[in-house]
Structure 1
């Protein structure tokens, strides 16, 4: 309820700010450099928009790097770009529960809104309450990423039809790279002696669905709180029983519990990417490949 009250205040303030901004002169008219102005929610969406739009788009990201997207509550200044954007891209699947109201408050009649995960078969989060019923991490899956890229392609074309061929070609090229990566690792994971790994944050369910794997995580889908002593003991027993040698930790989630688990289980800790924020100056494909390499290595450790 508190989040809802906070959001009503933010939305009202945002609407007032827009109404007072020179009688709508901030309506989307294109950026000064002629590029299509696109507002996105977080880093993975920016990566996908850049893959399709390249030098034809100007991207602004609402959730700052270093901020945990699951906990993000927008302020008026965070949403200001929506009034001047031509396209707004968000993931969906309960990742940005403020997105719909933000679009309504922006009053930008020419705004093309893209829910990137539309069409993805959702995985239940296993949670109830304000976080949402679905696991939002579809961008971590190479198969779901193809759907997201396609949706973004259609959104950019709708906003900028004169560059249709450009967006279509870029989308096809990126989807080919995604498919090639999928094909390579599908064969590798099929022959892996184990199929389960342990992470700090349950962000890999869609990736697991791609390859027939299973994640066991210290924190839940929304990284909301540390595990109980009983849960930690269960994970320690799981690691020992399965002879898990690596516990993965994510940059956006505190590594302390992962480190404790690894120490108790006699395992090492390695960092893995969730692509919720910019990390190590690496692009999407590089980070996903790095993840797949590390996960595969953990499944073949003896």
Structure 2
């Protein structure tokens, strides 16, 4: 591991040296001639949150390429070159991006403000040994909770204020406006979910634990591992029995994962397959709020 990261550091220095030759400015100027804060983020949800708070005062680059499963991503030197010139680096945390600590060291950027957006979260602990081995001690999918998103947005706002205190009021207003939208959406669906007869739904991957905690729901997952692998015959039998007993009419499949197993289960129990967003890559030009509204609407409809 040490040799791997030492090699990456040497490559990163080389990449940065060449990229620096073409520019004397660390930040890109906006239309008013003011420099923008260069922010590097790990995946799409973090980009959405930074954009909501920073708006036209930030220039955002995303490290994990669109269509790439973040759990499986292993960065190369060129993926991390931007960290050496960025002012702020935002990652979700809770083990979602296991490579960030070493990447920050390799960037060797003394001015870089690294933000673990989930800092201070009441994290859900994984209990399944295979899940712990695959994804770590905690469930990392906190951005799929509206309450979790509030926390992450606040942490991002604090980092932008730290980097650019002269625009503190601007960032705080944008943060508060976005949180107001999150809370409005939460209030709308909390009332709906409280009145729903059923409280459980079935998804391809158990990525919605924090969302379930928000609304008093329960998720059951089809796949043991995200985007790959299949449940055993016994597990599939148990899921079929569960779906029949609970009159499940919808099986959710994530946009980043193969829906094959979800379709198999749906065919067994006479259910339909619906796409649900994990907001790890950009999809259909939809915002975070668009996709969360779509998710909540589909989950609520499945409980009727």
Answering whether residue 152 of structure 2 is matched by residue 148 of structure 1, we say yes
2:51 alignment partner in structure 1: 50
Distance 1:122 1:296 in 2: 24
Distance of 2:4 and 2:272 partners within structure 1: 41
- Look up the match of 2:194: 190
Using the TM superposition, give the Cα deviation of residue 222 of structure 1 relative to its aligned residue in structure 2, in angstroms. 4.3
Aligned to 2:139: 135
CA contact (8 A) 1:30 1:37 kept: yes
3-state SS in 2 of match to 1:219: coil
Contiguous gaps of at least 5 residues in structure 1: none
* Unpaired stretches in structure 2, ≥5 consecutive residues: none
8 A Cα contact 1:28 1:84, kept in partner: no
Instruction: Judge conservation of contact 2:132–2:138 (CA < 8 Å) in 1.
Output: no
Alignment match, 1:31: 28
Aligned ranges 1:14-163 → 2 under 5 Å: 14-17=11-14, 20-21=17-18, 29-33=26-30, 34-126=35-127, 127-129=131-133, 131-163=135-167
Is contact 2:12-2:78 (8 Å) kept? no
Residue 180 of structure 1: SS of its match in structure 2?
helix
Matched residues in 2 for 1:230 and 1:150: separation?
A: 43
Provide the C-alpha distance between the structure 2 equivalents of 1:250 and 1:15, rounded to a whole number of angstroms.
34
SS in 2 for 1:153: helix
**3-state SS of paired residue (1:201):** coil
Q: d(CA) in 2 for partners of 1:298 and 1:110?
A: 48
| Aligned 8 A contact 1:36 1:57 in 2 | yes
The structural deviation recorded for 1:12 is 3.3
- Residues of 2 paired with 1:296 and 1:117: CA distance? 26
Partner of 1:178: 182
Q: Give me the whole-angstrom Cα distance separating, in 2, the residues matched to 1:121 and 1:220.
A: 24
Query: What TM-score do the two structures reach when normalised by structure 1?
Result: 0.93
Q: Take 2:89 and 2:152, find their aligned partners in 1: how far apart are those partners?
A: 13
Worse-superposed segment, 158-167 or 282-291:
158-167
Aligned length: 297
Separation (CA, whole Å) in 2 of partners of 1:178 and 1:198: 24
User: What is the CA RMSD across the aligned residues, in angstroms?
Assistant: 2.1
* Whole-Å separation in 1 of the counterparts to 2:19 and 2:232: 53
* Alignment match, 2:250: 246
Which of 235, 238, 246 is equivalent to 1:234? 238
Q: Any conservation in 2 of the 1:11–1:101 contact (CA below 8 Å)?
A: no
Among candidates 276, 283, 288, match of residue 284 of structure 1: 288
- TM-score, scaled to structure 2: 0.92
Residues 1:247 and 1:114: Cα distance change in structure 2 (over 3 Å): same
Q: What's the CA shift string for 1:22-63, capped at 9, x where partnerless?
A: 899989832244211100000000000000001110100000
Kindly indicate whether the alpha-carbon contact (under 8 Å) linking 2:228 and 2:258 is maintained by their aligned counterparts in 1: no
